[in-house]
């Protein structure tokens, strides 16, 4: 078995590990307007990324959007995931495929679709005007709310499918036993189903949070020029400012914060699961 896994492990190491180590080395170099990057070993890039109020705000915005999107995604996914997990018959496979279908479309295309939905002449404003509820289009696009709304819509299938697979493994008899003992549906959900489905919450929220922290197309297209998140900021340093050392430092700062918050959240949920 180890011999079979070894080639795949070496391939992953070559495609991901080596470039990441190279980027880490770049982050300690210094920027030179003439030569773009001079070999050095300085923590100045990291100091600037942490101390500069502009990048502090970008990092806090990224964390806030990722946390809000993850929380909303978890809340919205429970109902569809439970329905999909408890469904029987031929419709279950069809609805599972239908849930997976948005994942076949690229994030840029889906973000463009949300732009058409939220724009001044989009479906929402056109419907509200048609119903006579508004006379002036609402400013839905290029707002933080638009970014969170679109991000939730993009990552929701991941959470639904992850939760559904865990809920499906929970015997239905457990819920029936709770009902026979007098527990109301809400009580059974909080006291029985939710604790047993926490592994799905842990796996799904971890995946969703990582995707939200590293979102690029959605904040860029729906947030507007005044709304900044870390992934577009990293791209700007590499592609526009040509400051590779600072861009690499921002990228690793994003990586460290993502791993730290993911580990913290996972440990909290794991402790709650063990306590339950």
pTM: 0.89
> How much is the average pLDDT of 159-187?
86
How far, in Å, CA of 62 to CA of 227, rounded? Answer: 10
Question: What pLDDT is stored for residue 1 in this prediction?
Answer: 55
H/E stretch holding 32: strand 30-32
Question: What pLDDT is stored for residue 2 in this prediction?
Answer: 57
CATH number of 46-275: 1.10.3720.10
Between 121 and 5, name the one with better pLDDT: 121
For 81-110, what is each residue's pLDDT tens digit? 999 998 887 888 888 888 998 888 888 889
φ and ψ of 138, to 5 deg: -75, 145
CA dihedral (225, 229, 235, 237) positive or negative: positive
SS3 241: coil
What residue segments make up the domains of the chain, in order of their start?
A: 46-275
Residue with tokens 């994003």: 254
The two structure tokens encoding residue 272: 């709650």
How far, in Å, CA of 5 to CA of 80, rounded? Answer: 36
> How much is the average pLDDT of 208-215?
94
The two structure tokens encoding residue 3: 């011999």
The partner residues of 36 in beta bridges, in order of sequence, read 32
Q: Is there a contact between 183 and 155 (Cβ–Cβ < 8 Å)? A: no
């Amino acid at each position: 078995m180890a011999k079979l896994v070894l080639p795949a492990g070496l391939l992953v190491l070559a495609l991901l590990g080596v470039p990441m180590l190279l980027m880490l080395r770049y982050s300690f170099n210094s920027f030179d307007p003439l030569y773009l990057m001079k070999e050095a070993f300085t923590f100045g890039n990291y100091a600037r990324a942490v101390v500069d109020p502009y990048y502090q705000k970008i990092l806090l915005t990224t964390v806030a959007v990722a946390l809000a999107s993850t929380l909303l995604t978890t809340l919205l996914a429970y109902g569809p995931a439970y329905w999909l997990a408890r469904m029987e018959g031929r419709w279950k496979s069809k609805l599972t495929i239908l849930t997976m279908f948005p994942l076949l479309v690229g994030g840029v295309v889906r973000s463009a679709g949300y732009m058409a939905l939220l724009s001044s002449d989009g479906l929402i404003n056109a419907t509200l005007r048609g119903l006579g509820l508004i006379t002036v289009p609402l400013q839905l696009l290029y707002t933080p709310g638009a970014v969170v709304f679109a991000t939730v819509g993009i990552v929701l299938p991941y959470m639904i499918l992850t939760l559904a697979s865990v809920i499906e493994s929970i015997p239905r008899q457990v819920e029936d036993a709770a009902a026979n003992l007098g527990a109301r549906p809400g009580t059974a959900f909080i006291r029985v189903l939710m604790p047993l489905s926490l592994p799905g919450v842990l796996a799904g929220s971890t995946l969703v949070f990582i995707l939200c922290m590293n979102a690029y197309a959605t904040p860029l297209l729906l947030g507007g020029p005044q709304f900044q998140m870390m992934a577009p900021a990293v791209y700007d340093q590499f592609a526009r400012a040509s400051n590779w050392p600072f861009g690499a430092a921002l990228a690793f700062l994003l990586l460290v914060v993502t791993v730290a918050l993911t580990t913290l959240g996972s440990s909290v949920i794991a402790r709650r699961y063990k306590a339950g």
